[in-house]
Structure 1
Amino acid sequence: MEKKILVKNNPIIAAVRDVSLIEKAVLSPVETIFLMSGDIFTVEHCVEESRKNNKSIFLHVDLIKGIANDREGIKYLSKKVKPDGIVSTKNQLIQAAKKEGLLTVQHLFMIDTQAYENGIRNISTINPDAIEIMPGLMPRVIREFYEKIDCPIITAGLIKHPNEIREAVDAGAHGVAVGAPELWDLDYKNY
């Protein structure tokens, strides 16, 4: 699978929660950025900055203001803004993005067994390019997902220490999205 979502050298993904941090994210050693804030006026700049610095960028469309959460909003992003892909909890947005040629990350909240089972079903039906599960501090669940699904796993949420990143990767996570800018600069290979 030769997709841009697959991080090659660094599993840390910069989860940018404030567009003012885009400069720090693009200058960090991360390969991929998940933009989790902004609006119709700022996303284009964030994508351009990412491109200039050879970073992949995914827009968490559920959190971007001024972009309709429908097929037309996804089409606008695909044609005008041109991110590498989207992150969303919504099945219909994942499907629309796939039709527009964008990479897709299905965001799942693992709050209980029912959410876990629904997540497995959705993944097999929607077929996203990757999944992002929250919270990220669940090595056993990461291992179980890794054994049951055939797409990269990204974990996120509540990760504060380098050893937690290592635990998630060791359990089978392909990437770990972290919001703490001080973790974006970690030399992953040396911790």
Structure 2
Amino acid sequence: MENIRNVLRDYPVIPACRTREQFANALDSEAKVIFVLEANIVDYKEKIQAVQDRGKYAFIHFDLISGMAQDDAALEYLKETADPTGIITTRKNLIAKARKLGMNTIQRMFLIDTTSIASAINMARQTRPDAMEIMPGIAPKVIRAIKNRVDIPIITGGLITESAEIDMAIRAGAVGVSLSKQRLWNYRYQKDE
């Protein structure tokens, strides 16, 4: 995959899919990147293949694949059997392993206070994921604070329900916004000229 900043430049909205209906609608959306948040050992290959067949980039939340251990061997198996564009994970050891396997990585981080912000910055500096997804996504101030301290693309998500919140996140420095609100999946961010 080319640089995630480039992929998301013209279309920064990322469908985050949990249900079959969401997944089907995400495939039909204008999005270039799809986050597969729910999968199991039976259907993960099918979902990744469906995304790739549409010419889109599939990132699967590795920690949430039901029936598959979240360890190095399972990650190798995922790469060998389905070869997604990359993984989303909260685990720093999996970021390192995925990078060794040639996979793109998004490190998901939950920010609840200033300590968790400092921890997220330190972890990102150590693991050097291709992007970091910070949650919740409704805090432009936090996006700016992290963007000013690490040179890693920021994706934000969680609790975003309005197009104005997408705009605020991108203006604050996020390169992408992941969300499950299907009515926003075809929203086009208007860059300031």
Q: Determine if the TM-score, normalized by the shorter chain, exceeds 0.5.
A: yes
Shorter-chain TM-score tier: over 0.9
Residue aligned with 1:166, SS? helix
TM-score relative to the length of structure 1: 0.95
| Aligned CA distance change for structure 1 residues 15 and 126 (closer, same or farther; 3 Å) | same
* Inter-partner Cα distance in structure 2 for 1:8 and 1:85: 18
Residue matched to 1:63: 64
* Inter-partner Cα distance in structure 2 for 1:117 and 1:19: 36
Residue matched to 2:95: 94
Residue matched to 1:81: 82
Residue matched to 1:29: 30
Residue matched to 1:116: 117
1:91-134 CA-to-partner distances (Å, cap 9, x unmatched) read 11111111111000010001111111111110111111100000
Residue matched to 1:178: 179
Residue matched to 1:17: 18
* Inter-partner Cα distance in structure 1 for 2:84 and 2:32: 14
Residue matched to 1:158: 159
* Inter-partner Cα distance in structure 1 for 2:190 and 2:30: 12
Residue matched to 1:130: 131
Given the alignment of the two structures, is residue 40 of structure 1 paired with residue 51 of structure 2, yes or no? no
TM-score relative to the length of structure 2: 0.94
Per the TM alignment, residue 4 of structure 1 is displaced from its structure 2 partner at its CA by: 4.5
Query: Would you say the 8 A contact 1:19–1:42 is kept in 2?
Result: no
* Inter-partner Cα distance in structure 1 for 2:189 and 2:151: 25
Residue aligned with 2:138, SS? coil
* Inter-partner Cα distance in structure 2 for 1:152 and 1:99: 20
Per the TM alignment, residue 165 of structure 1 is displaced from its structure 2 partner at its CA by: 0.3
Unaligned segments of structure 1, at least 5 residues:
none
* Inter-partner Cα distance in structure 1 for 2:20 and 2:79: 20
Residue aligned with 1:62, SS? helix
Given the alignment of the two structures, is residue 3 of structure 1 paired with residue 7 of structure 2, yes or no? no
Query: How many aligned positions are there?
Result: 190
Give me the identity figure in percent: 36
- The letter of the residue matching 2:54 is N
Per the TM alignment, residue 187 of structure 1 is displaced from its structure 2 partner at its CA by: 3.2
| Aligned CA distance change for structure 1 residues 137 and 4 (closer, same or farther; 3 Å) | closer
Per the TM alignment, residue 8 of structure 1 is displaced from its structure 2 partner at its CA by: 3.1
1:123-153 CA-to-partner distances (Å, cap 9, x unmatched) read 1111111000000001111011111111100
* Inter-partner Cα distance in structure 1 for 2:72 and 2:61: 15
- Aligned-residue CA RMSD (Å): 1.6
